[in-house]
Structure 1
Amino acid sequence: MSKGKNPYILTFLFLVLTTPLFAQISTTEKDFFARDKMIEHLFSITDVMVTDVTSPPGAARFYGYSLLAAYLVYHDTENLNNATLIKHLQSPIANLEPTLKLEKENINLAFASTYAMLEVGKNIMPSGKKLTSAQETLISQYSKEKLIKKKEIKRSIIYAENIATVVLNYAKEDGYLQLSTLKRYSPTKGQGKWYPTPPAYLAAIDPDWRTIRPFFLENLPSFSPPAPAEYSEDKNSSFFTQLTEVYEVTTQLTEEQKLIANFWDCNPFNVSYSGHMAIGLKKISPGGHWMGITGIASQKAGLGFEESLYIHTLVAMGLHDAFISCWDEKYRSDRIRPLTAINQLIDDTWRPILQTPPFPEYTSGHSVISKTSAVLLTSYFGENFKFIDTSEVFFGLPERAFDSFLEASSEAAISRLYGGIHFRDAIEVGMQQGEKIANYILERTNTHQNHLIGTSSKTVK
């Protein structure tokens, strides 16, 4: 919350001076503390993804399962498959009961929830073991604030690990482990087809991601967008018109357009060369950027832990499904990138200001997932929710202010044209694809705009 606007500060200071140690923090301040620790340690997961150079679809999958575990821990366990977000999964989480025999007495659910989130991240990501230190920090943070008793720590961790095991077993069934057994992908020969691009000429990323199980989307083909403009060297064709637009726009970019392109770059595969040395540049994934926005909105709105956890989980699961749908289309249409086409047909020296990601062009992934996230967030926080996006500050980029989530998603989408990595139809159709996915998820989960912004009445259990 911004300075000068928190009505609980004076109460908090009074309690610090007049009450016993264990009661120093009010119920509401405990709630905000728990929320902030969850958001902080979600970024711990993001940091590991950046280190691992996790692909955008892979990052969304890791967010989805990590937050699913946190969500499951926090909700009533008599029938977890009836929890709001869980009962609508296209594939139910089975065999939960055997792991849930531990009574909730002497368990700090907010602590256990965040611990479980880290536990799943620790076991699902290549360098996840690094999150052990984050778990140790979490224990220290709660203990330092006198928010968890010693006898609660062990029981809370056991409970968190039980739920994490359930989620990890559920994740093992989604097709991810089978990806390495599928036939190796080779670029398709022929005009207008995707081919690896400079400077690194990286191989195609996640060509079989369509085989991964979504959380909510039951009939993947029903979310397929119309086919892209057909490749053509006819200067009057739709394809060549769009190709020319990319070339002309990128050769006369304003400083603001350059800033927008770089702000939304989110390319974990960005490589810089110094002589013969290739240096990977630390970049957040598109999904990581929108998880950051979700945290910013939760804090600005004054949400408590439960509400913040809900919207983070919804957005994470939405990201996962949106990437599956987008990647399904990418490797079906298999369209050439602007860099390859412009070099072949217009200017063999042209380079975009952003490095071209290593996968086919249509539809624009950032356009799809940004619109999905923006629609989900708008359904929760409202249409005119102003916020300052600081998601990229850690990575050296300035903050940007937006009047709404939809405005942010539109800027993210058009940034791909400014960056020279997408054609206009991939951007516009991608946004339509993302909106369709989000609306389906909202309908399926029966999520409506019925959460009052700023309510913190649902405090930590």
Structure 2
Amino acid sequence: MDMSRRRTALTALASAAVLALTAAVPTATATEPRDRPSVAVDWYGTTAETIAAAGAPTQVTNSRTWAIGWLAAARATRTVPAHYDRSDRREYQEAALASAVHHSLTTLTPARAEQLDAALRQTLDRIPDGPAEDRGVAAGEHQARLVLRSREGDGLDPASVNAPFTVPAPAPGVWQPTPPAYAPATQYGNRLARPFLLDGADQYRLPAPPALDSERYRKDLAEVREYGAVDSERRTERQTETANFWFGSSLTLYTEPLRVALTRSKGSVAEQAELVALFHVALVDTQIATSDSKYAHLRWRPVTAIRTGDIDPDPEWTPLHNTPAHPDYPSGHATYAGAAEGVLTALTGPTTAPFELTSPTAPGVTRTYTAWRQLSDENVDARVHSGIHTRYADEAGITLGKRVADHTLRTAGKLFRPL
């Protein structure tokens, strides 16, 4: 089976699995009138604001917070009493979603408790008082407690994420701390953490990167040398803008695309909760898998290869952007992009109406997108033109992210069973 047909088959399988989950419990239909603002969209915004204001210093820890809150919401919105009519069902699900995310966030980001309590009151004030609302609140808090308990000690707290790593002796191709800070390795502990759905961090470990004497290695290193240098004369203004645009946190940069997908969703409250939960569960597991491949292969960064390697060494070569403190292969930005593309494509389709995106690392720049793949393609180019990754590391990252996303969607049945 060729890759195009294989991807189509996997997407169909993943979509069917999630649709089957949704069918297991009665939920509001896509044609249900929406006379109140979307609770899912409101609490998406509240989650984003909470993490922006009081989140952890490590990206995967914040991804974990998203995943816990919205997994609890997805489970709680599926526990609707069978005898509820459409109106009661909606009131129950809205209260359950708000309660689940609220309890998760107040537990994980207690500094925002006052704002979160106010957001919950605002949501509940819009829902008619009665047994449906009360039972929904109770269900949301119950599922949040269970999910939080199930993730205790999972190794995704900041200290565990940045567990100490002993740098190997210098050798051709082997990662070493990079200038200008020569900082200790980061994110090593991700590969030791407990995934949500992967059997283990190494389940989709990538094969070894291209050999140092291979044509692919020489070609890609030459590309970074030419286009990724701080003083490159080959890099165009558009390429520099792309490098700057995608230089920041992937979690931050993908908050708006996921919000766009959620806002445009015609699904029920439960289906909207599932979309956000699947996205962030996939991204937690992707970051764990990324760290495993990075530290299994320990491929040096372009700045080290260009300054000290055997191919025309240039001790003064400097990348456009400072190199992050972990190995080259694969690119974490690319794995994030690949997983995000995989989930959004499977659950919302490959294209969407045009939407605008800005970036905190490219002030004043606004870009417009119509397909999730466009974001992935730009991430690949951006890391090369930043001078911090080889193209083979970026392309392998997209592949790894998509594989983890496929796994998440295929095994989603384990995820949404209410406890």
Interval containing the TM-score (normalised by the shorter chain): 0.7 to 0.9
Give 1:314 deviation, angstroms: 0.9
Aligned to 2:49: 44
Aligned to 2:35: 29
Instruction: Name the count of aligned residue pairs.
Output: 370
CA spacing shift, 1:69–1:382, aligned 2, 3 Å? same
Query: Which residue of the other structure, out of 133, 137, 146, is the alignment partner of 1:166?
Result: 146
TM-score of the superposition, structure 1-length normalised? Answer: 0.71
Deviations 1:349-386 (A, max 9, x none): 33222222221110011111211111211112212323
State the SS of the aligned residue for 1:230. Answer: coil
Give 1:150 deviation, angstroms: 9.2
Query: Which residue of the other structure, out of 344, 351, 367, is the alignment partner of 1:384?
Result: 351
Contact 1:41 1:118 (8 Å CA) reproduced: no
CA spacing shift, 1:183–1:139, aligned 2, 3 Å? closer
User: 2:140 is matched by which residue type in structure 1?
Assistant: A
Q: After TM superposition, list the pairs within 5 Å mapping 1:1-12 onto structure 2.
A: none
Aligned to 2:225: 247
Contact 1:108 1:148 (8 Å CA) reproduced: no
Deviations 1:24-61 (A, max 9, x none): xx95132x431321221121233046x5422x332322
Say whether residues 1:190 and 2:194 are aligned partners. Answer: no
User: 2:194 is matched by which residue type in structure 1?
Assistant: R
Deviations 1:150-181 (A, max 9, x none): 99887755543332221111001534479759
Give 1:331 deviation, angstroms: 0.6
CA spacing shift, 1:181–1:359, aligned 2, 3 Å? closer
Q: After TM superposition, list the pairs within 5 Å mapping 1:336-415 onto structure 2.
A: 336-345=300-309, 346-390=313-357, 392=359, 396=363, 398-415=365-382
Unaligned runs of 5+ in 1: 1-25, 80-103, 267-284, 448-461
Say whether residues 1:121 and 2:105 are aligned partners. Answer: yes
Contact 1:210 1:328 (8 Å CA) reproduced: yes
Q: After TM superposition, list the pairs within 5 Å mapping 1:143-292 onto structure 2.
A: 146-149=126-129, 157-176=137-156, 180=160, 184-191=164-171, 192-218=173-199, 220-231=201-212, 238-250=216-228, 251=232, 252-266=234-248, 285-292=249-256
State the SS of the aligned residue for 2:324. Answer: coil
Could you tell which deviates more after superposition, 64-73 or 297-306?
297-306
Give 1:440 deviation, angstroms: 2.6
Contact 1:291 1:315 (8 Å CA) reproduced: no
Give 1:401 deviation, angstroms: 1.3
Query: Which residue of the other structure, out of 398, 403, 406, is the alignment partner of 1:431?
Result: 398
Contact 1:291 1:312 (8 Å CA) reproduced: no
User: 1:361 is matched by which residue type in structure 2?
Assistant: D
Contact 1:106 1:151 (8 Å CA) reproduced: no
CA distance in 1: counterparts of 2:128 and 2:282, whole angstroms: 33
User: 1:203 is matched by which residue type in structure 2?
Assistant: P
Aligned to 2:68: 65
Contact 1:322 1:437 (8 Å CA) reproduced: yes
CA spacing shift, 1:394–1:305, aligned 2, 3 Å? farther
CA distance in 1: counterparts of 2:342 and 2:135, whole angstroms: 38
CA distance in 2: counterparts of 1:131 and 1:414, whole angstroms: 37
CA distance in 2: counterparts of 1:182 and 1:297, whole angstroms: 32
Aligned to 1:450: none
Contact 1:115 1:138 (8 Å CA) reproduced: no
Q: Percent identity?
A: 24
Contact 2:94 2:136 (8 Å CA) reproduced: no
CA distance in 2: counterparts of 1:37 and 1:182, whole angstroms: 33
Contact 2:241 2:362 (8 Å CA) reproduced: no
Give 1:296 deviation, angstroms: 0.9
Contact 1:330 1:363 (8 Å CA) reproduced: yes
Unaligned runs of 5+ in 2: 1-31, 83-87, 415-419
CA distance in 1: counterparts of 2:160 and 2:406, whole angstroms: 33
Could you tell which deviates more after superposition, 348-357 or 373-382?
348-357
State the SS of the aligned residue for 1:387. Answer: strand
User: 1:409 is matched by which residue type in structure 2?
Assistant: S
State the SS of the aligned residue for 1:243. Answer: helix
Give 1:187 deviation, angstroms: 1.2
User: 2:219 is matched by which residue type in structure 1?
Assistant: T
Contact 2:380 2:394 (8 Å CA) reproduced: yes
Query: Which residue of the other structure, out of 420, 425, 430, is the alignment partner of 2:387?
Result: 420
Give 1:196 deviation, angstroms: 2.3
State the SS of the aligned residue for 2:38. Answer: helix
Aligned to 1:53: 57
State the SS of the aligned residue for 1:401. Answer: strand
CA distance in 2: counterparts of 1:425 and 1:199, whole angstroms: 24
CA distance in 1: counterparts of 2:155 and 2:341, whole angstroms: 28
CA distance in 1: counterparts of 2:303 and 2:158, whole angstroms: 32
User: 2:307 is matched by which residue type in structure 1?
Assistant: N
CA distance in 2: counterparts of 1:182 and 1:249, whole angstroms: 31
Query: Which residue of the other structure, out of 396, 401, 410, is the alignment partner of 1:443?
Result: 410
CA distance in 1: counterparts of 2:242 and 2:361, whole angstroms: 17
State the SS of the aligned residue for 2:323. Answer: coil
User: 1:184 is matched by which residue type in structure 2?
Assistant: P
Q: After TM superposition, list the pairs within 5 Å mapping 1:308-327 onto structure 2.
A: 308-327=272-291
State the SS of the aligned residue for 1:379. Answer: helix
CA distance in 2: counterparts of 1:41 and 1:437, whole angstroms: 27
